[in-house]
Amino acid sequence: MDIFTQQLVNGLVLGSIYALVALGYTMVYGILELINFAHGEVTMVGAMVALSVIGVLVGAAPDLPGVLVALGGILVAIPTCMALAFGIEKIAYRPLRQAPRLAPLITAIGVSIILQNLAMLIWGRQYISFPEILPPVRYEFLGAHISLIQITIVVLALGTMAGLWLLVEHTRLGRAMRATAQSREVAELMGVNVDRVISATFVIGAAIAAIAGVMVSAYYGLAHYYMGFMLGLKAFSAAVLGGIGNLFGAMLGGLLLGVIEALGAGYIGDLTGGFLGSHYQDVFAFFVLIGVLVFRPSGLLGERVANRA
Amino acid sequence: MLKALHQRPHLTAILLAVGLAALPFLVGTGLGNSWVRVLDFILLYVLLAIGLNIVVGHAGLLDLGYIAFYALGAYLYAWLASPHFGLHLPFWAVLPMGAALAGLFGVLLGTPTLRLRGDYLAIVTLGFGEIIRIFMNNMNTPFNLTNGPQGMSLIDPVSIAGLSFGRPLHVLGVTVPPTYLYYYLFLAFTLFALFIALRLQDSRIGRAWAALREDEIAAAAMGINTRNVKLLAFAMGATFGGLAGGLFAAFQGFISPESFSLWESILVLCMIVLGGMGNIPGVILGAVLLTVIPEALRYIGDLQRSTLGHIAIDPSDLRMLLFGVALVAMMLFRPAGLIPSRQRKRELAATDSVATQEQGDLYDARA
């Protein structure tokens, strides 16, 4: 049972990160029906910027408590990613809003390539390690180990999700976003500034992605210019799993995907008699995705989006 | 000039044939032999792009895992014609098998995804591509099937009637290097694929694909068996992919999972979107451009040395960056592709609201 609870805990932690990134995909898709391919790269930029800031802070003020250092990193990463997403939307997506459907997908891929290679030029090809700023404390919980970092990640992720929920359900901007997702034309007729709402959606998604980027690099202790790619793919899978366009779906999909991946990696060796090993971890996300889409194409919580004309 | 050529189709064909035949020699003497290799890759990518164009351009099914079929063709070739298993079957036996295996996997992928459309289909095919790649990367234990990340080497070169393409050919006092020989082989296959693709486009099946792309429900109402037609598109596209994969393996003599990453799928997709989806001349142009541009960008290093006196930024780092910029810029300026198909042009030119609506819906693979 120890392995089971341990993998469950690991999966939930990883899953909460997936969920945060998935929120960005699902919000944009809900409004524009566009796969924002560059979202994974925005997450990566968030991680890289935060790491640079943390590195500077650790060097300049070694006595600063770790929590403040991490907070400093996040606080710089968030506006950077927001500005980045704002620019991407304005330059690469907005001019193509009336263009054939595949055109913005290609520019999204182009932006993704640009960001990856810019990051490589700025931060280099090597892995950057995350300094140990939080004390490596571990707690026992039902036979599983939980580190302070893991607890922080889960709490922060839940807080972010709650904040997003409040924003979408209880503010004017949130109402405008929901209206735009339902029908852009009608929302426009009702006096919603659709362009601004779309920009806001990208920017909010990027802010969450920045937080997720810092989390994932803190969790693995590493950051790399290529890290956004797989993360983005899995997060998008999570969004589809939960039902794309649905915020709770993204959260549920992310958590589920994390758990499935962790449990799968933990047990695949036993299940196949040692034939397949834990290095097949990345495969689970895609098998789950294909399975869900075949048997429930609208995702777990999605109802209307899949059939929307 | 163009008009004169248009009036004499036979002359045009002869000129084109002579041009294509002389191309490797012109390129080889003008730009160096490494560019003949680029020519070979252009032909391989044209072959891939023609195959993917059937799926995406004609049938309107967005496939982001296309490179998996290329990988299957290449790996099958490597299994049956390399020291890995000690098998050395001739290429004319292996190539069709690779194409058939890829076609079979095309149907296997197509069957469960029949109900899916648009972005959902894209993401499932993407997942399929990644699954194939991850398996290729890890199938070296417990028994060594793919040799893992190291890849498989010493793959047999193509050999026709005792003439091995792995060695330079000496004929009439002229030495023809292997890259030239492969050029002609690839050219033959590409022309063959082109012929099939063009004939398919104008056939009953081609019209069925177009109908499917435009409106699946209307197509079904017109009596088209949408299931079979979709599966056929997947299978046809995959077959071309498998064929190209086998040729790639024989040409390189070495394959590894790295050659079959998602980026390759995306690159081929970019080729057909950039050139003008569904339009075969556009697709060829896209394949040529996107193969040549990254190669030409290798000269950035020389340019930096001559202008700045030293290399400020490693050209290989800058190459992909500029490729990304080019991709975005080209899409912004020509969202329908460089040479849009006649149909697309007509729809883009139309101004009334119905036509604009239709234009939005075209390729709008709705979920």
Name the domain count of chain A: 1
Residue that wins the pLDDT comparison between A154 and B20? A154
Residue of chain A minimizing CA distance to B359? A100
Burial A160-169 (b: 16+ CB within 10 A, else e): bbeebeeebe
> Would you state the pLDDT for residue A262?
87
ipTM of the complex: 0.81
Query: Are the Cβ atoms of B273 and A103 closer than 8 angstroms?
Result: yes
Evaluate whether residue B22 is within a structural domain: no
Residue of chain B minimizing CA distance to A90? B332
> Would you state the pLDDT for residue B345?
56
A300 touches chain B (CB under 8 A): no
CB–CB of B79/B87 below 8 Å? yes
Angstroms from B103 CA to nearest CA on chain A:
20
CB–CB of A173/A197 below 8 Å? yes
HSE at residue B11, side-chain half, CA atoms within 13 A, is 8
pLDDT digits (tens, 9 = 90+) for A183-194: 888 998 988 899
> Would you state the pLDDT for residue B139?
77
Chain A residues with CB under 8 Å of B135 CB are: 283
A130 touches chain B (CB under 8 A): no
pLDDT band at A96 (very low <50, low <70, confident <90, very high): confident
Here the CATH number for the domain that contains residue B87 is: 1.10.3470
Q: A62 pLDDT exceeds 80?
A: no
pLDDT digits (tens, 9 = 90+) for B184-220: 889 999 999 999 988 988 899 989 998 888 888 898 8
Contacts for A218 with CB less than 8 Å, ≥ 6 apart: A70, A130, A134, A149, A153
Per-residue DSSP letter, B155: P
Residue of chain A minimizing CA distance to B122? A35
Q: A220 pLDDT exceeds 60?
A: yes
pLDDT digits (tens, 9 = 90+) for A66-84: 788 888 889 999 999 999 9
This prediction has a pTM of 0.80
Residue that wins the pLDDT comparison between B321 and A201? A201
Measured CA to CA, the distance from residue A209 to residue A104 in angstroms comes to 21
> Would you state the pLDDT for residue B309?
65
pLDDT digits (tens, 9 = 90+) for B35-72: 888 888 999 999 999 999 988 888 888 888 899 999 99
Interchain CB contacts (distance < 8 Å): A and B: 141
Residue of chain B minimizing CA distance to A304? B367
Share of chain A above pLDDT 90, in %: 32
Angstroms from B364 CA to nearest CA on chain A:
5
Q: Residue B152: helix, strand or coil by DSSP?
A: strand
Contacts for B334 with CB less than 8 Å, ≥ 6 apart: none
Average pLDDT of chain B, as a whole number: 80
> Would you state the pLDDT for residue A309?
29
Residue A126's φ and ψ, nearest 5 degrees, are -80, 160
Average pLDDT of chain A, as a whole number: 85
Nearest to A101 among B130, B320, B364 (CB): B364
Is the sign of the CA dihedral B34, B37, B38, B39 positive or negative?
A: positive
Extract the tokens encoding A308.
């929307």
Extract the tokens encoding A103.
């055109």
Chain A residues with CB under 8 Å of B120 CB are: 240, 293, 297, 306
Measured CA to CA, the distance from residue A99 to residue B334 in angstroms comes to 9
Q: B240 pLDDT exceeds 90?
A: yes
Nearest to B332 among A107, A117, A285 (CB): A107
Name the domain count of chain B: 1
> Would you state the pLDDT for residue B315?
66
> Would you state the pLDDT for residue B352?
42
Q: A43 pLDDT exceeds 90?
A: yes
Owning domain of residue B228: 32-361
> Would you state the pLDDT for residue B176?
73
> Would you state the pLDDT for residue B366?
41
Query: Are the Cβ atoms of A103 and B142 closer than 8 angstroms?
Result: no
Chain A residues with CB under 8 Å of B115 CB are: 294, 297
Query: Are the Cβ atoms of B124 and A293 closer than 8 angstroms?
Result: yes
Query: Are the Cβ atoms of A100 and B317 closer than 8 angstroms?
Result: no
Query: Are the Cβ atoms of B119 and A29 closer than 8 angstroms?
Result: yes
pLDDT band at B361 (very low <50, low <70, confident <90, very high): very low
Angstroms from A57 CA to nearest CA on chain B:
28
> Would you state the pLDDT for residue B360?
47
Evaluate whether residue B21 is within a structural domain: no
Measured CA to CA, the distance from residue B56 to residue B50 in angstroms comes to 10
pLDDT digits (tens, 9 = 90+) for B109-135: 888 777 776 667 777 788 888 888 888
Share of chain B above pLDDT 70, in %: 85
Owning domain of residue A225: 2-307
CB–CB of B347/B362 below 8 Å? yes
> Would you state the pLDDT for residue A55?
86
Residue B74, judged by CB atoms within 10 A of its CB (0-12, 13-18, 19+), counts as buried
Q: B1 pLDDT exceeds 60?
A: no
> Would you state the pLDDT for residue B355?
43
Chain A residues with CB under 8 Å of B359 CB are: 100
Query: Are the Cβ atoms of A109 and B270 closer than 8 angstroms?
Result: yes
Residue of chain B minimizing CA distance to A234? B127
Here the CATH number for the domain that contains residue A195 is: 1.10.3470
Which of A165-169, A193-197, A299-303 bottoms out in mean pLDDT, i.e. has the lowest?
Answer: A299-303
Q: B358 pLDDT exceeds 50?
A: no
Q: A280 pLDDT exceeds 50?
A: yes
